[in-house]
Amino acid sequence: MSDQTILGAPQPSGFPESGPLLEVRDVATRFRTGRGMVQAVNGVSFVLQRGQTLGVVGESGSGKSVLSRSIMGLLSSNAERTGQIIFEGADISDLSPAGYRELWGKEMAMVFQDPMTALNPVMKIGNQITESLRFHLGMDKNEAKETAIALLRAVKIPEPEQRFKAYPHEMSGGMRQRVVIAIALACGPKLLLADEPTTALDVTVQAQILDLLADQQRERFMGVILVTHDLGVVAGRADHIAVMYAGRIVETAPTAVLFREMQMPYTEALLSAIPKLNQASHTRLSAIGGRPPDLINPPAGCAFSPRCPYAQERCHVEQPPLQESPTTPGHYFACFYPVNSPETKAAKERIAVEQLMATAPIDPRPEGA
Amino acid sequence: MAGSGTAHLRDPNQMLLRVENLVVEFPVGRKGTVSAVSNISFDVAEGETLGLVGESGCGKSTTGKAVMQLPRPTRGSVVLDGQELTALSGEALRTARPRFQMIFQDPISSLNPRRTVADIVAEPLNVWKVGTAEERRARVDEVLGTVGIDPEAAASRKPFEFSGGQCQRISIARAVITDPKLIICDEPVSALDVSVQAQILNLLEDMKARYGLTLVFVAHDLAVVKNVSDRVAVMYLGKMCEIGPPDDLYSRPAHPYTAALLAAIPLPDPSIDPGATAHLGGELPSPLNPPSGCRFRTRCPRAQDICAQSEPQMQKVGEDHYVACHFPLETPVAAPGVH
């Protein structure tokens, strides 16, 4: 796919510069609502290096989208954010709206979940791309048009010259998501936040879009934060993974390490709840009981403890800190009794026995049913 | 995929549902028509789950709705339990409806927001005036209990007080309360988180065993479909490509489209490099003007001249495994004992 290098856009200057691209320090985001304060993100910290991909995984309500919006400075007016966001060594946590305008598109850009609503329906797609080229890079009309067509070609939209004049409703969902990506890439950002970029798309189109993002990332040496609920999407594509639950990172590690030796029972449960292609049909799924916690009145102790089959007394009272694994540097998890601890192993055995007892054949149909 | 033909149909006397040459067309513009489902046939045995998979726009949901006669199909036959549904008049069809029910994708919008859970679940019984008020209430409590909703706490509450997973449980309760034979599940878990999705899939299996249900399970997620199905049918642009038992169909797909769909699924295994797999290019062609011959030929890596000229017919490639393709992938031989 390196058939087309993007014209006009400055080559990302971020090559051999030292220091991480993005540092997020103890970020917390709360929303004032009629029912009370919603603790959507609660003390999240991580570091993203240039050219790397961080996969942020969690269920709805885990705070993963609010986290990416907090980094982008795209929060609604009822939000309160604390903590620090350091981008290329500069603190951008308290930037003014005008300051963010300088950053958006040029330094960091975002790809949203729903390509149907991310585009302006009454504006030709070409103009939606040239808008930021002219604003940030000061291009004249023709130069911006040529660059936009090159961008459309780079995201593999057929007949880009004709498509330049099309409206969003004339394109399919996959094509629109390509346009959204072209807009995000237009000014050569160093950081790309992709918030569920393929959730609204079919599986074959999803594969095309993820391939496209990976190619563009490699070519431009961008840092990418890929937010998704699907562990399958990040498994092959992220360098690091952060698993979120109830607004906190509960486990984070390099991708291979996370899948090889996951420690947090929530991560394990999330993975085993997914139906697998290599399981025989009618395999009983190991569902996680209950549902995600109420973020207005979060449970005491570990937020996962009410659903965790291995929870002990202490889990319901005390919040486990996110700590580095003693055996694997770079692997952090927030759990008192990780998957391989003696307590959890004992609990697992006990549950296995109980299940065996309970797997009696399902009761015959009740009388009169 | 493009395929037509009925070679894959089984003995009609043993089938609960038999759909033959189903066509659903919708008007477009002044006098055009778009054919959402073009000549599809399948059958479902009692107690079986048929999974219908394909990308958006392939006609899988329209097929499910056509079985429900919502709206009635343009042509073709839908026989449920020996009764031709397409021939039934309005009132006769209404009387037949308790025997086939439907569960929808969005659990929250498929429940009336202004009514209580007990009212919603009891409505089918009230419509048919089944038993006394006491008996109906007892039956509602019992069914709510079996889907994992505490009837005492939930009965007088309204749908917005429940999560998506709980609303889907309520929808399932409403569907099973009329004691149906067949339930059409239209993407019942695609709006749910994976942890809740697993709960609902397990619940559907339990309900199937408890109430002796037969399911048609429409979904785009191949792994979900494999988990619940006894037979899987793959659709493309209004046609059926391949049908077979899931373990066989997934391990030895015969249709290039099935193989491409399987290859596109992201696997939760970091040792697999998704960039190394060749993914299917292009997009679904417009159903207004579908390709001639095999409808998949415009995206198919194996397409030849004949694919543009003639439409492939269903042919047997394995035990109960049929494909509509001129050049099926390494024709699987029915290996005894391998399932």
Q: What DSSP string runs through A210-243?
A: HHHHHHHHHHHT-EEEEEES-HHHHHTT-SEEEE
Dihedral angle, C-alpha B237, B240, B243, B246, nearest 10 °: 20
pLDDT at B335: 42
CA distances for B299 relative to B38, B55, B143, B278, B283, angstroms: 19, 14, 47, 13, 8
Please provide the average confidence, as pLDDT, over all residues in chain A.
Answer: 88
**Fold of the domain built from segment(s) A19-107+191-278+286-358:** Rossmann fold (3.40.50)
Q: Which residues contact A89 (CB under 8 A, 6 or more apart)?
A: A19
pLDDT at B100: 95
Residue of B nearest to A294 (CA): B163
Contacts of B272 in chain A (CB under 8 A): 235-236
A305 touching B, CB under 8 A?
no
Edge-to-edge order in the sheet of strand A22-33: A36-48, A22-33, A79-87, A90-91
A327 touching B, CB under 8 A?
no
The CA R_g of chain A, rounded to the nearest whole Å, is 23
Q: DSSP label at B87?
A: G
The residues in A 236-255 lying below 8 A from B, measured between CB atoms, are: 236-237, 255
Place of tokens 């034979």: B181
A273 touching B, CB under 8 A?
yes
Over the stretch A176-225, which tens digit does the pLDDT of each residue have? 999 999 999 999 999 999 999 988 788 888 888 899 899 989 998 999 99
Instruction: Say whether B275 and A214 touch across the interface (CB within 8 A).
Output: yes
Contacts of B210 in chain A (CB under 8 A): 362-363, 365
Residue of B nearest to A213 (CA): B275
Contact by Cβ (8 Å): B140, B122: yes
How do A248-254 and A240-245 pair as beta strands? antiparallel
Contact by Cβ (8 Å): A144, A133: yes
Tell which residue, A327, A303, A333, A325, has the closest CA to residue A316: A303
CA distances for B184 relative to A294, A314, B213, B221, angstroms: 33, 46, 10, 16
Q: Sorting pLDDT into bands at 50, 70 and 90, what band is A17?
A: low
- The rounded percent of chain A whose pLDDT value lies above 70 is 92
Rounded to the nearest 10 degrees, the angle between the axes of helix B117-127 and helix B164-176 is: 20
Q: Phi and psi at residue B292, in whole multiples of 5°?
A: -70, 165
CA–CA dist B131, B121 (Å, integer) = 15
Neighbours of A88 (CB within 10 A): 18
Tell which residue, A359, A357, A352, A363, has the closest CA to residue B145: A363
Over the stretch A50-87, which tens digit does the pLDDT of each residue have? 999 999 999 888 999 999 999 999 999 999 999 999 99
A116 touching B, CB under 8 A?
no
Residue A92 has pLDDT above 90, yes or no: yes
Reduced to 3 states (helix: H, G, I; strand: E, B; else coil), residue B177 is coil
Instruction: Say whether A207 and B274 touch across the interface (CB within 8 A).
Output: yes
Tokens read off for B216: 């048609």
Residue A170 has pLDDT above 50, yes or no: yes
Instruction: Say whether B269 and A214 touch across the interface (CB within 8 A).
Output: no
Where b means 16+ CB within 10 Å and e means fewer, B51-78 reads bbbbbebbbbbbbbbbbbbeeebbebeb
pLDDT at A360: 55
CA angle A277, A283, A285 (to 5 degrees): 90
Contact by Cβ (8 Å): A195, A229: no
Tokens read off for A155: 């995201």
Residue A340 has pLDDT above 80, yes or no: yes
pLDDT at A121: 93
User: Which one of A285, A294, A308, A363 makes the best mutation probe of the B interface by having the most chain B beta carbons within 10 Å?
Assistant: A285
pLDDT at B337: 39
Residue B2: what residue type?
A
Q: Which residues contact A352 (CB under 8 A, 6 or more apart)?
A: none
Q: Give the containing element (helix H, strand E) for A332.
A: strand A332-333
Strand ranges for chain B from DSSP E? 15-28, 32-45, 49-53, 75-80, 83-84, 100-103, 182-186, 214-219, 231-236, 239-244, 315-318, 321-323
Residue A46 has pLDDT above 80, yes or no: yes
User: How far off is chain B from A361, nearest CA to CA, in Å?
Assistant: 10
How do A53-57 and A240-245 pair as beta strands? parallel
What number is the average pLDDT over the span A320-339?
Answer: 94
Where b means 16+ CB within 10 Å and e means fewer, B149-169 reads bebeebbeebbeebbbbbbbb
Q: Which residue has the higher pLDDT, B120 or A365?
A: B120
The residues in A 49-78 lying below 8 A from B, measured between CB atoms, are: 59-60
Over the stretch A229-274, which tens digit does the pLDDT of each residue have? 889 899 989 999 999 999 999 999 999 999 999 999 999 999 989 9
Please tell me whether the interface predicted TM-score (ipTM) of this complex is above 0.85.
no
Residue ranges of domains in chain A: 19-107+191-278+286-358, 121-188
B286 touching A, CB under 8 A?
no
CA–CA dist A199, A150 (Å, integer) = 26
User: How far off is chain B from A363, nearest CA to CA, in Å?
Assistant: 7
CA–CA dist B324, A192 (Å, integer) = 43
Contact by Cβ (8 Å): A52, A14: no
Over the stretch A109-144, which tens digit does the pLDDT of each residue have? 999 888 888 999 999 999 999 998 998 999 999 999
pLDDT at B333: 42
pLDDT at A361: 52
Q: Chain A to chain B, count of Cβ pairs less than 8 Å apart?
A: 155
Burial zone of B133 (CB within 10 Å; 0-12 exposed, 13-18 middle, 19+ buried): exposed
Residue A2 has pLDDT above 70, yes or no: no
Reduced to 3 states (helix: H, G, I; strand: E, B; else coil), residue B55 is coil
Sign of CA dihedral A113, A114, A118, A119: positive
Instruction: Say whether A235 and B266 touch across the interface (CB within 8 A).
Output: yes
DSSP codes joined into one string, A21-48: SEEEEEEEEEEEETTEEEEEEEEEEEEE
Contacts of B271 in chain A (CB under 8 A): 256
pLDDT at B192: 86
CA–CA dist A128, A118 (Å, integer) = 11
- Spans of chain B below 50 pLDDT: 1-2, 332-339
CA angle A331, A332, A334 (to 5 degrees): 150
Over the stretch B267-292, which tens digit does the pLDDT of each residue have? 888 888 887 877 888 878 888 889 99
A205 touching B, CB under 8 A?
yes
Distance of CA A70 to the CA centre of its chain: 13
